Amino acid sequence: MQIEVWAPIARSVVVHVVAQSGAERYDYSARMDLNRAGWWIGPDVAPAVDYSFSLDGEGPFPDPRSASQPSGVHGPSRTFNADAHPWADAMWRGRDARGSVFYELHVGTFTEEGTLDAAAERLEGLASIGIEMVELMPITPFPGRHGWGYDGVSIFGVHEALGGPEALQRFVDRAHAAGLGVCLDVVYNHMGPSGNYLAKFGPYFTEAYETPWGWAVNLDQDGSGEVRRYLADNALRWFEDFHIDALRLDAVHELHDHSPRHFLAQLSDEVAELANRLNRPLSLVAESDLNDERLVIPTREGGRGMTAQWDDDVHHALHAYLTGERQGYYVDFGSAECLDATLRDVFWHDGTFSPFRGREWGRPVSPKRDRRDFVVCAANHDQVGNRALGDRPSSRLSPGAQAASLALTLLSPFTPMIFMGEEYGETRPWMYFTDFDDPALAEAVRKGRTAEFSSHGWEEIYGGPIEVPNPQDPATTRASVLSPETAVGFPHDELRAWFAELIAARRLTLKRGAWAKHPARFEESAPRVLTLRGPVTLHANLSDAPVDLPGVTPIATFGDVAATPSRVTLGPDSLILVDAPKG
Please list the active-site residues. Answer: 250, 287
How many Å apart are CA 543 and CA 524, to the nearest integer?
11
Of 233, 238, 154, 251, nearest in space to 201 by CA = 154
H helices, E strands: number in the chain? 16, 28
In what helix (H) or strand (E) does residue 441 lie, and over which residues does it extend? helix 439-452
DSSP string, 149-203: STT-S-TTS--GGGTHHHHHHHHHHHHHHTT-EEEEEE--S---STT--HHHHS-
Cβ proximity of 284 and 267 under 8 Å: yes
How many Å apart are CA 151 and CA 51, to the nearest integer?
23
Task: Provide the β-strand partners of residue 306.
Answer: none
Q: Which long-range contacts (CB under 8 A, 24 or more apart) does 331-334 make?
A: 331/355, 331/356, 332/356
DSSP string, 5-29: EE-TT-S-EEEEEEEEETTEEEEEE
Q: How far is CA 177 from CA 121, 163, 278, 380, 447, in A?
A: 12, 20, 18, 26, 45
Cβ proximity of 195 and 73 under 8 Å: yes
Of 10, 375, 40, nearest in space to 199 by CA = 10
Distance of CA 140 to the CA centre of its chain: 14
Distance of CA 208 to the CA centre of its chain: 28
Give Cβ neighbours of residue 82 (< 8 Å, ≥ 6 apart): 67, 165, 169, 237, 241, 242
How many Å apart are CA 546 and CA 568, to the nearest integer?
10
Relative orientation angle of helices 224-241 and 263-278, to the nearest 10 degrees: 30
Give Cβ neighbours of residue 578 (< 8 Å, ≥ 6 apart): 536, 537, 538, 539, 552, 553, 554, 555
Please tell me what DSSP assigns to residue 393. Answer: G
Give Cβ neighbours of residue 42 (< 8 Å, ≥ 6 apart): 2, 3, 4, 5, 13, 15, 30, 32, 33
Q: Which amino acid is at 418?
A: I
- Cα torsion 272, 63, 252, 325 to 10°: value is 130
Give Cβ neighbours of residue 414 (< 8 Å, ≥ 6 apart): 311, 314, 346, 371, 372, 374, 375, 376
Tell me how long the chain is: 583
Cβ proximity of 389 and 469 under 8 Å: yes
How many Å apart are CA 473 and CA 2, to the nearest integer?
42
